[in-house]
Structure 1
Amino acid sequence: MNSRSYEPNPEQARVDQPELSGTATTSDVVEAAVVELPSMHSQVEVKVENPISNANAQQWGEKEDRLKLRLRLYRAALRGDWKDAETALRLDKSAGSLEVEEGGQRPLHIAALAKQTAFVCKLVECLNKEDLELSDKRGRTAFDFAAISGVVEMAKVMYEKNNALPTIRHVNKRSPIEFAAWMGNKKMVEYLHKITPLQNFEANECMSILVAIIKNGMYDIVLKILKADRSIVTSSNEDKIRALLALAEEPFSPYGTSQEWICENLARFVPYVPCFKTIYDSIEKQRQACQLVKKLLEPILISEDLEISNLDSLFHILSVAATIGNVEFLTLLIRSYPAIIRASDNNHNTIFHLAAIHRKGRVFNLIYDIGAVKDLLLFGVDTDCNNILHLTAKLAPSSKLNIVSGAALQMQRELLWFKEVEKNLRPSDVQQRNNDRKTPRELFTEEHEKLREVGEKWMKDTATSCMVVATLIATVAFAAAFTVPGGNKEETGTPIFLNNMWFTIFVTSNAVAMFSSITSILMFLSILTSRYGEEDFLYTLPAKLMVGLFTLFSSIVCMDLTFSATFFLVYKEEKQGILPKIIASLALLPITLYAMLNFRLWISLIHSTIWASRFMFRPGKHKLF
């Protein structure tokens, strides 16, 4: 309580009176409580109090309790603690529909996203039908979160409570089935497809759903949707092109014809082997994708005169497929509309230019199926006067280079591409200069100089390391040849165990170990003394490295076999039982270890030197016409 004495001045009474405006604050109102009376000489004591409102205190307490209740429900929904949530619901029956997060999510949203199935099932029983339609600030219902989670049981419980949930769309018109499709939850998509009336959706909404399903490789579900509702196929060409673009962005199958035939038959007779089943599923997905492409292309190409906008869109799809190497899609599209193979982008690049830029061998091999048309397609130049050989001479994207391990093998793959494209051009095109006055070969040397230097260092480091091991084995094998186990006879000087089978194995394996290690040393020595020109990386250096590694492995195997033969020869008669066999079998350890550590390098060498040079560029199974 505050008090003060006040003696009014009649001359100042009018001036000192406070004025209250419509924008007065609380402090203004409190100060305005001091009023001035018209009495001239009397003193008036005015007392001003700031009482604490009991109503405000009660309201603040209720607000604090509500915040605690929300926090309690939020934690219970995350943990799936139904007992704690049930206690909160007893305190407030409407607590189940409270917003427990800043984004507007309610306990059912949180539990569905946290995959707390038992909690969701019990909470749904306590909610009204309308409570399940409540959304967060972004327009997502708890059913949307259940679709995102992929737990079908939660979606079933909610749908049984409210059948309208599958048709409630997000603020951006995204439906629950589209959410499930983008998350790649196939079982959830299959369930939602059964309960979602797509005929009630707009055409662009249906196509957005199809695109989401296509991008996650669920082609069988898309075919079911199109079979049930043909009107989606007859929608605008723009919508169908969206779906075709989604199909073009993912290769159908990475397996070849022989792999498909073998694995398909193996999967039929041995369906429980995981690897066969995976390959078979991939092959089946490819077939479904081909059917889907045909269904989507047919309405676009049904008329004789295609619109220019459609042709531009189709070539954009074609270029996307060529860039990622989707040769199956390209084949279907070109067969449906052969004239599109001659189309090019704004930089005058055809699909074969794009295949060379992005190093897509299967796409480039289609050039062998078009006859003399290839001469018209390959001789074009871009705005910088670069022909297709100039484009191939540029360094490949790092994602394509890293497919091959080792800088030397990467250099080899780049040379293989350059040589293959060069074979398909005229001599004048090989020597053609671009706007920078560079021939394709000069551009190749400039672009690949750093890669050549890294490849040289990689080759020398590998050869040096392996040469040390080969030299050690050669030294041991040479010494072992003159220090035979058991010693020699004094009369003749011949080995005591000369007629023993294990002695024969010892002599043979030791000789092979010595000669193979010496061969390996010579191979690695020739690598170290190479001039490391660009052409050397094509065959010479990889072949020398492959021979050197193979002979080194042979010397390691024979050295271990020499040790095992010596051990049996000396200790078998004295040490009976299983001990000699166990010790001798330990010789397999270094052999196995060496093979495992260098397996990927061997495969890369064989693949790049033998397979790629002979089989990477040749007519494939995808016949265009």
Structure 2
Amino acid sequence: MPVHWNMKPAFSPFSEIHTVKLLSQLSVLRHLQNMDNQIEISVQSPNTNANTHQADHQRRVNTLHKAALKGDWKAAKSYVSSDQKKNWNIEITKDRNTALHIAVSAKQTAFVRNLVECLKESDLELKNKYGYTAFCTAAASGVVEIAEVMYHKNKNLPKISSKKLESESGFSPLQIAIWFRKKGMAEYLYPITPLEGLVDKEYMDILVEAIRADMYDIALKMLNDSTRIATSTTISTEKALQALAQKDLSYNHKFQGRIWERLVSILATIPCIPYFKRIHSSLQTRRQASKLVMQMTLLDSSILIQETQILHDAAKIGNVEFLTLITQSFPGLTWNLDSKKYTIFHVAVINRQEKVFSLIYQTGAAKDFNTYYSDDDKNNILHLAGKIAPPSRLNIVSGPALQMQIELLWFKEVKKIVRPFYVQAKNKEGKTPRELFTMEHENLRKAGEKWMKDTSTSCMLVAALIATVAFAAAFTVPGGNKGETGSPIFLTDRWFKVFVISDAVAMFSSIASIMMFLSILTSRYGEDEFEFLLPAKLMAGLSTLFASIVCMVLTFSATFFLAYKEEKQGTLPKLVAALAVLPITLYAVLNCRLWIALFRSTCWTSRFMFRPGKHKLF
């Protein structure tokens, strides 16, 4: 039975006092809490409003940024009211780009046109963090229509460069277009850019950039439209000539001569043949470059060319057109020496530029003086031929064996023009040219040996398989033999004759191929063998292997037609004949580049590599 006095606490003076104190403390805490709440509300209210305003501003900026990128004019206009036009010019990126900068870089032409109508002329002159106006950005984008819209609003834009401070140097919109290789934009900006307002350095920078960008027509206009270069005493054409010397001015096609050029110019007008249009454009570019070289040489003397060693730079890259144009005006520069006592022919040997080296045969007896000089290490021109070629020139030929062949041809060609004393002359290291050649090309010789052996082993395996199949097929004729005489049943059939002939050729050609590849594997791989013997054996082995593959496929096709001669009018024999072409085509396509390289190096290069060309030195 429960005890009732335990259900209620006993009354005592201590408990009453404790309860009063507790209640008083609770009331104080509640009062302090109310005060804290009041303080918090009164202090945080302004920050909340500021955060809300900042968030709204950021939202507007992001919306405007996206609209400019996408070209959504309606979305951009909805967030900029008529009484807040200044918001068009707010900086919406950390690089201080405005909506106009963004839209121009995104090539949103319609958006830019609408935006420009809402801006003042001065608004188009605003620059970003790097000093670029939106017009400079348009020059880099290459969209001429955008530049036209902005220029129609503010005619001062082509004059404003990308400089951030007056004391700094910047880039004009024309120079920016040339730098980014925007030819159409550069041609538009050139007539509206006041070049007379540029200082000499900025003027020459634009000229040099035009040459480097292959915009020779603009460079010619700059020379013809202004007499600044001819009359100024502070302008140097050194950089312009160096830029021309480092350009490839050669005609990389066979359409040369007045008749061909006239024909190409006519064919270039046909819109459905873009190939001739590109050729015609290339012809015009090379012609403009040659004209530019001639005009530049008229402005300068041979002293500048000699001091800057521009001819040696041209010889290094094989710019034979530039060399011949310069030497026709200044013939004495042919014997000019650089800091290492090298003539242009020494430089041509070092960099394996055969077109430049072939010019030495036009110097007559003077070639003995050109080959007389030696450098500080006592290396004569034959020593330079004994050194290995730069990788950029060596890798033009595919395969280390063919690279070794080209190096041998170079060494022997240079050996023909030097005096006998130079053949045995020693350099500072005590090495003759031939000893230097052996030392420098040892790794290349080993790589060529490995390449030849690997190629021969793989091809010999295929040839052995074909020989085995062809030998077995000769005694397993299709249709069987007659029991009485043992002669083949299809002996009188024309497809049987095709079978016999193709099988015999396949076997004999595959055996010949095996012998060729076996001869390569057993070679001693001396240096001189790479000049002709080894490449010729490889070319013969590949040719006989191809013949055996063709005949093997033809043997199979003939056997198929004999076995199914009753259905030879159907689609099955035609399908088989079509499929037979597949392996032949695959082999020819996959090995086409190797065949061409072998034929060119073995039959063409050895005879015509150093043949004098159409260029005249004087």
Indicate the TM-score class for this superposition, using the shorter chain for normalisation: 0.7 to 0.9
**What residue is the counterpart of 2:280 in the other structure?**
280
The answer to whether residue 281 in structure 2 is matched with residue 289 in structure 1 is: no
Structure 2's unaligned 5+ residue stretches are 1-38, 164-168
The 1:267–1:162 alpha-carbon spacing in structure 2 relative to 1, beyond 3 Å, is same
The one of 216, 227, 231 equivalent to 1:219 is: 216
**What residue is the counterpart of 1:381 in the other structure?**
374
**What residue is the counterpart of 2:76 in the other structure?**
85
Aligned identity (percent) is 56
Q: Do the aligned residues in 2 keep the contact of 1:433 with 1:440 (CA within 8 Å)?
A: yes
Aligned equivalents of 1:345, 1:80: Cα separation in 2: 57
Structure 1's unaligned 5+ residue stretches are 1-48
Stretch of structure 1 that moved more, 126-135 or 274-283: 274-283
**What residue is the counterpart of 2:124 in the other structure?**
132
The answer to whether residue 198 in structure 2 is matched with residue 201 in structure 1 is: yes
The 1:53–1:494 alpha-carbon spacing in structure 2 relative to 1, beyond 3 Å, is closer
Aligned equivalents of 2:429, 2:383: Cα separation in 1: 11
Aligned equivalents of 2:144, 2:236: Cα separation in 1: 30
The one of 564, 579, 591 equivalent to 1:586 is: 579
Stretch of structure 1 that moved more, 333-342 or 107-116: 107-116
Could you give the per-residue CA deviations for residues 370-410 of structure 1, whole angstroms, max 9, x where no partner exists? 11121111121111111112122112111111111111111
CA positional deviation for 1:255: 2.5
Stretch of structure 1 that moved more, 552-561 or 573-582: 573-582
Could you give the per-residue CA deviations for residues 483-524 of structure 1, whole angstroms, max 9, x where no partner exists? 222223334333232232222222222111111111111110
Stretch of structure 1 that moved more, 168-177 or 512-521: 168-177
The answer to whether residue 186 in structure 2 is matched with residue 189 in structure 1 is: yes
Stretch of structure 1 that moved more, 179-188 or 193-202: 193-202
Q: Do the aligned residues in 2 keep the contact of 1:369 with 1:624 (CA within 8 Å)?
A: yes
The one of 346, 364, 368 equivalent to 2:357 is: 364
The answer to whether residue 559 in structure 2 is matched with residue 566 in structure 1 is: yes
Could you give the per-residue CA deviations for residues 111-130 of structure 1, whole angstroms, max 9, x where no partner exists? 21122222222221221111
Aligned equivalents of 1:354, 1:310: Cα separation in 2: 16
The 1:178–1:400 alpha-carbon spacing in structure 2 relative to 1, beyond 3 Å, is same
Could you give the per-residue CA deviations for residues 90-128 of structure 1, whole angstroms, max 9, x where no partner exists? 284212211222222222112211222222222212211
CA positional deviation for 1:460: 0.5
Stretch of structure 1 that moved more, 291-300 or 494-503: 494-503
CA positional deviation for 1:161: 0.8
Q: Do the aligned residues in 1 keep the contact of 2:379 with 2:427 (CA within 8 Å)?
A: yes
Stretch of structure 1 that moved more, 238-247 or 503-512: 238-247
The one of 43, 48, 69 equivalent to 2:60 is: 69
CA positional deviation for 1:310: 5.2
**What residue is the counterpart of 1:610 in the other structure?**
603
The one of 224, 229, 238 equivalent to 1:241 is: 238
Written as runs of structure 1 = structure 2, the 5 A alignment for 1:502-541 is: 502-541=495-534
CA positional deviation for 1:453: 1.0
Aligned equivalents of 1:515, 1:258: Cα separation in 2: 44
Q: Do the aligned residues in 2 keep the contact of 1:260 with 1:283 (CA within 8 Å)?
A: no
The 1:259–1:507 alpha-carbon spacing in structure 2 relative to 1, beyond 3 Å, is farther
The answer to whether residue 402 in structure 2 is matched with residue 405 in structure 1 is: no
Aligned equivalents of 1:561, 1:236: Cα separation in 2: 78
The 1:266–1:486 alpha-carbon spacing in structure 2 relative to 1, beyond 3 Å, is farther
Aligned equivalents of 1:563, 1:265: Cα separation in 2: 52
**What residue is the counterpart of 2:43 in the other structure?**
52
**What residue is the counterpart of 1:145 in the other structure?**
137
**What residue is the counterpart of 1:553 in the other structure?**
546
CA positional deviation for 1:576: 3.2
The one of 80, 105, 109 equivalent to 2:101 is: 109
Give the alignment's TM-score, normalised by structure 1. Answer: 0.87
**What residue is the counterpart of 1:490 in the other structure?**
483
Aligned equivalents of 1:426, 1:253: Cα separation in 2: 32
CA positional deviation for 1:60: 5.3
The 1:455–1:236 alpha-carbon spacing in structure 2 relative to 1, beyond 3 Å, is farther
CA positional deviation for 1:55: 6.2
The answer to whether residue 154 in structure 2 is matched with residue 162 in structure 1 is: yes
Q: Do the aligned residues in 2 keep the contact of 1:206 with 1:232 (CA within 8 Å)?
A: no
Q: How many residues align?
A: 570
Aligned equivalents of 2:232, 2:593: Cα separation in 1: 50
Could you give the per-residue CA deviations for residues 301-340 of structure 1, whole angstroms, max 9, x where no partner exists? 3xxxx5x455302x2x211111111110011011111111
**What residue is the counterpart of 2:615 in the other structure?**
622
Q: Do the aligned residues in 2 keep the contact of 1:113 with 1:146 (CA within 8 Å)?
A: yes
Aligned equivalents of 1:618, 1:184: Cα separation in 2: 37
CA positional deviation for 1:266: 5.3
CA positional deviation for 1:239: 3.4
Q: Do the aligned residues in 2 keep the contact of 1:88 with 1:95 (CA within 8 Å)?
A: no
Aligned equivalents of 1:405, 1:460: Cα separation in 2: 16
Stretch of structure 1 that moved more, 226-235 or 78-87: 226-235
The 1:539–1:261 alpha-carbon spacing in structure 2 relative to 1, beyond 3 Å, is farther
Q: Do the aligned residues in 2 keep the contact of 1:509 with 1:558 (CA within 8 Å)?
A: yes
Written as runs of structure 1 = structure 2, the 5 A alignment for 1:299-310 is: 299-301=299-301, 308-309=303-304
Q: Do the aligned residues in 2 keep the contact of 1:394 with 1:447 (CA within 8 Å)?
A: yes
Q: Do the aligned residues in 1 keep the contact of 2:249 with 2:289 (CA within 8 Å)?
A: yes
CA positional deviation for 1:540: 0.8
Could you give the per-residue CA deviations for residues 28-51 of structure 1, whole angstroms, max 9, x where no partner exists? xxxxxxxxxxxxxxxxxxxxx997
Stretch of structure 1 that moved more, 206-215 or 495-504: 495-504
The 1:507–1:191 alpha-carbon spacing in structure 2 relative to 1, beyond 3 Å, is same
CA positional deviation for 1:265: 5.6
CA positional deviation for 1:263: 6.0
**What residue is the counterpart of 1:264 in the other structure?**
261
The 1:488–1:230 alpha-carbon spacing in structure 2 relative to 1, beyond 3 Å, is farther
The 1:347–1:445 alpha-carbon spacing in structure 2 relative to 1, beyond 3 Å, is same
**What residue is the counterpart of 1:11 in the other structure?**
none
CA positional deviation for 1:269: 5.0
Aligned equivalents of 2:275, 2:552: Cα separation in 1: 37
Whichever residue aligns with residue 307 of structure 2, its letter is D
The answer to whether residue 426 in structure 2 is matched with residue 429 in structure 1 is: no
Q: Do the aligned residues in 1 keep the contact of 2:305 with 2:311 (CA within 8 Å)?
A: no
The 1:260–1:60 alpha-carbon spacing in structure 2 relative to 1, beyond 3 Å, is farther
**What residue is the counterpart of 2:92 in the other structure?**
100
CA positional deviation for 1:234: 4.3
The 1:343–1:393 alpha-carbon spacing in structure 2 relative to 1, beyond 3 Å, is same
SS at match of 1:403: coil
Could you give the per-residue CA deviations for residues 4-52 of structure 1, whole angstroms, max 9, x where no partner exists? xxxxxxxxxxxxxxxxxxxxxxxxxxxxxxxxxxxxxxxxxxxxx9973
The 1:87–1:258 alpha-carbon spacing in structure 2 relative to 1, beyond 3 Å, is closer
Aligned equivalents of 1:547, 1:136: Cα separation in 2: 67
Could you give the per-residue CA deviations for residues 275-324 of structure 1, whole angstroms, max 9, x where no partner exists? 333333222221111101111110213xxxx5x455302x2x21111111
Aligned equivalents of 2:467, 2:233: Cα separation in 1: 75
**What residue is the counterpart of 2:465 in the other structure?**
472
Stretch of structure 1 that moved more, 381-390 or 520-529: 381-390
SS at match of 1:512: helix
Could you give the per-residue CA deviations for residues 529-588 of structure 1, whole angstroms, max 9, x where no partner exists? 011111111111111101111111111111111112222222122453222111122110
Whichever residue aligns with residue 206 of structure 1, its letter is Y
Whichever residue aligns with residue 456 of structure 1, its letter is E
Q: Do the aligned residues in 2 keep the contact of 1:177 with 1:189 (CA within 8 Å)?
A: yes
The answer to whether residue 249 in structure 2 is matched with residue 252 in structure 1 is: yes
The 1:273–1:567 alpha-carbon spacing in structure 2 relative to 1, beyond 3 Å, is same
The 1:236–1:451 alpha-carbon spacing in structure 2 relative to 1, beyond 3 Å, is farther
Stretch of structure 1 that moved more, 365-374 or 61-70: 61-70
**What residue is the counterpart of 1:338 in the other structure?**
331
